[in-house]
Amino acid sequence: MHLVFVTPRYGQAIVGGAETAVRSYATRIASRGHRVEVITSTATTMEWENSLPAETVSEDGVIVHRLRVHRPRLENFSAVHAKVLATGRLPAGMTADQFLADQGPLLDGFEALLDRLDPDRVISYPLLYWPNLHALRWKPARSVLHPAAHPEPILASAIYADLVPLARRIVFQTHAEAELFNQLFLIGASRQLVLPLGLDQPVPDDHAGSTPDSAPYLLALGRLQADKGSRLLTELYRNTQPTLRLIMAGPLVEPVRLPPGVETPGIVSDAQRNALLRHARAVVIASRYESFSLVAIEAMGAGIALIVNGFNPVLVEQIECSGGGIAFHTASELLSAIELMATDATLATTLGQRGKAYAMAHFSWEQIIDRYLAFLQ
């Protein structure tokens, strides 16, 4: 089978859930002897600056086509984007096509490259960006969509209503995501599959949850930006004094004014990430916007308890199915959950072990790729 994945950014150094997922699928399918290619941009950030060479290279058995971005994201677009995401409505006078073009990345030669490659399946992952939507328009009968979407008002806008139903195959990461899309879009004619992401090598659980050389801590992993929960966490620590210190590891996307008790080591290596996971008392995921949390299954795989945002049905589904954590809805509930983990190490360990048992039973990449390839036939 000849597959082409379309994703805005791609590469081992790119931080992001969808980006990591595409690389996991592509490399594993290529290792089974299929021809796998990726069409992506030369950008490394979502400002869409051309940072990498525009070229075709082979990476881990995958042919990667990096196309030049027509223009970087407009300076004022972040404010427009935030408002559209929050309301689902475009500014007066802005068309859907203009919004998508401004959101980017517009890739030079994108459709011509698809025509030349002529794959059996063209796989859009995730939904929201210009190249992914244009991939749905290219020979819809061959289209596969991984929305990687979470409940946000923009999904209800006309931008997506006409394009999402074009996908002949749709892969959801959770049942909550599938329910959301079947409520929003006329996709009854599309083949649908609910398929989680897989767990890479589990973090060794020797001394999981213990911190022999330092005080127990709460861990947050991922981009430091408001819509990922960093502001909620820093404001909680600024206004109260939780017992557990907080380590927020990941790229700094928005400026963060750190209160006492909060550390930000920045981007960490895989070895550092594993060490942080292994010795955390609990992992907190404060974001409302998660389509599938790799951090959650990594924490479960490491045997670490979870504290998650209860307004996100995907996260709630993950802890309800696994029994591996606690959900919060308010700042006071978040503080209570942190204090419970701080004072009851036995409970934290029990939740972590439940999560680990669930992760080991459900997140095998071998089984996931088997099911995926059968679905693509």
pLDDT digit string, tens, across residues 230-253? 999 999 999 998 999 999 999 887
What is the tens place of the pLDDT at every residue in 180-221?
999 999 999 999 999 999 987 666 555 444 444 568 999 999
Is residue 84 predicted with pLDDT exceeding 70?
yes
- Most confidently modeled range among 94-103, 221-230, 326-335: 326-335
Encode pLDDT of 99-120 as tens digits.
888 888 999 999 999 999 999 9
Question: Which pLDDT score is estimated for 206?
Answer: 52
Q: What is the DSSP string of 356-368?
A: HHHHHHH--HHHH
How high does pLDDT run on average in the chain? 90
Residues 6+ apart with CB under 8 A from 123: 3, 4, 5, 6, 135, 144, 145, 146
Greatest CA separation for the chain: 61
Residues 6 or more apart whose CB falls under 8 angstroms from that of 104 comprise 8, 48, 69, 70, 71, 72, 73, 129, 130
pLDDT of residue 96: 75
Share above pLDDT 70 across residues of the chain, in percent, rounded to a whole number: 95
As a whole number of angstroms, the distance between CA 223 and CA 238 comes to 20
Return the half-sphere exposure (C-beta side, CA atoms, 13 A cut-off) of residue 360: 12
Q: Where are the domains of the chain?
A: 2-195, 217-362
Render pLDDT for 287-300 as a digit per residue (tens, 0 to 9).
Answer: 887 777 888 989 99
3-state SS class at 156: helix
Check residue 202 and give its pLDDT: 60
Domain 2-195 identical in fold to domain 217-362: yes
Superfamily of domain 217-362: Glycogen Phosphorylase B; (3.40.50.2000)
Fold entry, domain 2-195: Rossmann fold (3.40.50)
